[in-house]
Amino acid sequence: MDHTLHSAAIANQEGTTSTNGLLTVRSGRYTARYASAKYIVPPKNSTRKVAYNQYHQTISAEHFSHYWHIASQHTPSLTSCRYQVGNHPHLNISVQVETELYWHQLFAEHLFLPQTNSPLEHWTLRCIPSLQPSEQHPVFIGINPDTRQVLICGTGYAGEIKKAMFSVMNFLLPEHNVLSMHCSAVLSPHNTCSLLLGLSGTGKTTLSASKGLKLIGDDEHAWCDDGIFNLEGGCYAKAIRLSKAEEPQIYQALTPPAVLENVVLDSGGNPDFFDDSITENLRAAYPLNHIVNHSSQIAPHPSDIIFLCCDLYGVIPAVSWLSPQQAIDFFMIGYTAKVGATEVSLSSVQPVSSPCFGHPFFARELSIYQQLFAHKVKQHKSRVWLVNTGWGEGGYRHGNRISIQKTRGIIHAITHQAFHAEQFELHPSLGLRYPNSIASVGNTSLSKSWLSHPDFEVGCQQLKALFDQALSHV
């Protein structure tokens, strides 16, 4: 890994270096994604339709071109390098990343892949945080599918760079019968593949970096006829309350030239992952090979698909085995609680439904992704699970969050095929099948006292209303 960009960022006063040599930077005013600032130019090709909504707004080609020109004049000299998105010999695109800041280029070097010679398309991404292109658009994340250009202005939050290209891939890959997913992916010792789908903060990165599992990637993957492949070349992990004891693989991955974003250094120059004075959305970016037990190969078709949700109400069991129809429904519901400031203007904790576990990144009609998911799960006979990484009995107000040790045990049991159908009970309100115990974890059943508590039924009714509303919009 080239350390030139790290040195250039320090020389340009873009950040400081921790005692262990990590580049530590601030993203500026915005410390999370600006979800309401994404615009997509309507493609000239009528078969490439965009499903416009609050996450994908329309902008004319002329307006986009005007902003692109302003950006060219605002910063005529940009750091530039070409990368690849998609770790597949044919199902990939190339992207020329042009950045105003050196540390953003270093981020791109970590998160994207080295360029090969067989891209589907050639794109250009330009990131200029110091430019507010207009009063109407102080922050602008624009995508033009026809000119194959991405423009990011007005924000220095690095996550916009990777998620913009994820959005591009989600738009392009369905044309090739490929389903892209907001998920981490792992291999078991028996070379079986498992996917962990979830919104930010539900545990994709943490749970996939586990002892006994080989990491394929922590956030963005695609499912093609060959199997599962990573869209990225690195990880962008949440680092709030990161500790060596709880998350040893991620902790040990933080070696130069990794980048710490909005992490405060203590008086001794050491990262303080418990200091949320800038934001709770602390981030660490590092290449995949910083994880000792990783794989860069195309993985087998998934034996198991795990939906991660952070349940506020404490009514979803720690683990449930979904029927085929439940699997499709929960894929389109994408229920969780938004925990931590992963989006601008978002309160700290609230229940949400985000289809495909990442609606802001999927710009086509949702039915396209639904049909691809249903077809591939049926074709490859993948088991689908719902795992609650949120609160247990008593819910957010009166209960405790399910421990990471317990959830790791559940993930281990799934990936190692340790469940049997006769062990399951039926949820009285939600129709979920869940085990009463797991040998390596212990009791996972919902207690009789909680099942008969008034708050339990209230929580179930609130969830049902959320689910019904979500499915009515699909």
Q: Which residues are catalytic?
A: 33, 163, 182, 200, 204-205, 219, 283
Using CA of residue 109, residue 341, residue 205, residue 169, what is the dihedral sign? negative
Report the DSSP pairing between strands 319-321 and 383-388.
antiparallel
DSSP helix/strand/coil, 236: strand
- Amino acid type, 384: V
Helix axes 102-111, 4-11, angle to 10 degrees: 150
3-state secondary structure (DSSP) of residue 286: strand
Measured in degrees and rounded to the nearest 5, phi and psi for residue 375 equal: -65, -45
Residues 6+ apart with CB under 8 A from 379: none
Within a 13 Å sphere around the CA of 83, how many CA atoms are in the beta-carbon half?
Answer: 24
Task: Count how many Cα atoms sit within 13 Å of the Cα of residue 1 in the half-sphere of its side chain.
Answer: 25
Please choose, from the candidates 24, 276, 32, the residue with its C-alpha nearest in 3D space to the C-alpha of residue 155: 32
Amino acid, res. 67: Y
Q: Which residue type is seen at 235?
A: C
d(CA 235, CA 217): 7
Amino acid (one-letter) located at 432 = L
Q: Which amino acid is at 209?
A: A
Cβ count within 10 A of residue 457: 14
Closest among 74, 56, 190, 58 to 133, alpha carbons compared: 74
Beta strand 264-265 with 38-40: parallel, antiparallel or unpaired? unpaired
CA angle 266, 269, 272 (to 5 degrees): 40
Beginning with the edge strand found earlier in the chain, give each strand of the sheet holding 23-25 in spatial order.
15-17, 23-25, 259-261, 283-287, 234-238
Residue closest to 330 by CA, chosen among 349, 346, 311, 343: 311
For residues 199 and 346, give the distance between their C-alpha atoms in angstroms, rounded to a whole number: 14
Buried b (16+ CB within 10 A) or exposed e, 319-344: bbbbeeebbbbbbbbbbbbbbbbbbb
* C-beta separation of 39 from 53 below 8 A: no
Buried/exposed 194-217: b ≥16 CB within 10 Å, e otherwise: bbbbbbbbbbbbbbbbbeebbbbb
